[in-house]
């Protein structure tokens, strides 16, 4: 694998791994604030980010060794409404800045596996951003996120809200491959 794409994938792996942990902590805080549906949203998105990290990691299977990983890392513990804002900000960065440029570089280098892994993540992040914004508006209005199921594709991390799909629109995985939160 070309070094620039490998480096970008490692950074993406780092970013997704940390997002998964950050969302897991923020899920717990939402539970403490008696916002069970926001808690569920953070748990679902944490699982999605874990799948992205997993897929980026496995794309790097043939590039073994230690590496210093530099990735954007959001910190802070405040109120759930703040966590939703920070989560949306992180997703927005991945959507507008990070993945489009990493994907362009990987395409230029002919790294199809990396392109695929990052494009899958990018599409899921767009859904995450929309759900975080919706949840933030609900919490600001004094309520909780809506009580409808969130489905995460266990193969590619795609995230859907509402009815369970028959297959993943992104990777074609079957209904049974979705985890519902």
Give min distance, CB of 146 to Fe ion, in A. Answer: 19
Question: Which of 33, 177 has the CB closer to Fe ion?
Answer: 177
Which of 56, 83, 52, 48 minimizes the C-alpha distance to 178? 48
Give min distance, CB of 167 to Fe ion, in A. Answer: 8
Question: Which of 91, 111 has the CB closer to Fe ion?
Answer: 91
Tokens of 136: 């933030």
How far apart CA 154 and CA 165 sit, in angstroms, is: 13
How far apart CA 167 and CA 75 sit, in angstroms, is: 35
Give min distance, CB of 74 to Fe ion, in A. Answer: 12
Give min distance, CB of 120 to Fe ion, in A. Answer: 7
- Reading phi first (left if > 0) and then psi (alpha if -120 to 50, else beta), residue 36 is in alpha
How far apart CA 147 and CA 128 sit, in angstroms, is: 16
Question: Which of 145, 158 has the CB closer to Fe ion?
Answer: 158
Question: Which of 8, 12 has the CB closer to Fe ion?
Answer: 12
The residue ranges that bind Fe ion (CB under 5 A) are 91, 125, 128, 153, 155-156, 158, 168, 170-171, 173
How far apart CA 86 and CA 25 sit, in angstroms, is: 13
């Amino acid at each position: 694998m070309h070094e620039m794409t490998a480096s970008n994938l490692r950074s993406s792996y780092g970013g997704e791994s940390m997002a998964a942990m950050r969302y897991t902590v923020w899920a717990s805080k939402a539970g403490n604030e008696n916002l069970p549906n926001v808690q569920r949203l953070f748990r679902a998105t944490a699982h999605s980010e874990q799948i992205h990290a997993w897929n980026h990691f496995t794309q790097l299977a043939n590039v073994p060794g230690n590496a210093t990983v530099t990735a954007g890392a959001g910190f802070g513990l405040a109120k759930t409404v703040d966590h939703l804002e920070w989560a949306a900000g992180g997703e927005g960065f991945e959507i507008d800045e990070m993945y489009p440029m990493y994907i362009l570089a990987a395409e230029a280098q002919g790294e199809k596996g990396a392109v695929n892994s990052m494009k899958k993540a990018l599409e899921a992040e767009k859904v995450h951003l929309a759900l975080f914004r919706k949840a933030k508006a609900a919490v600001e209005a004094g309520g909780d996120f809506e009580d409808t199921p969130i489905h995460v594709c266990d193969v590619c991390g795609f995230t859907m809200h509402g009815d369970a799909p028959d297959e993943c629109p992104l990777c074609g995985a079957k209904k049974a491959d979705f985890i519902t939160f």
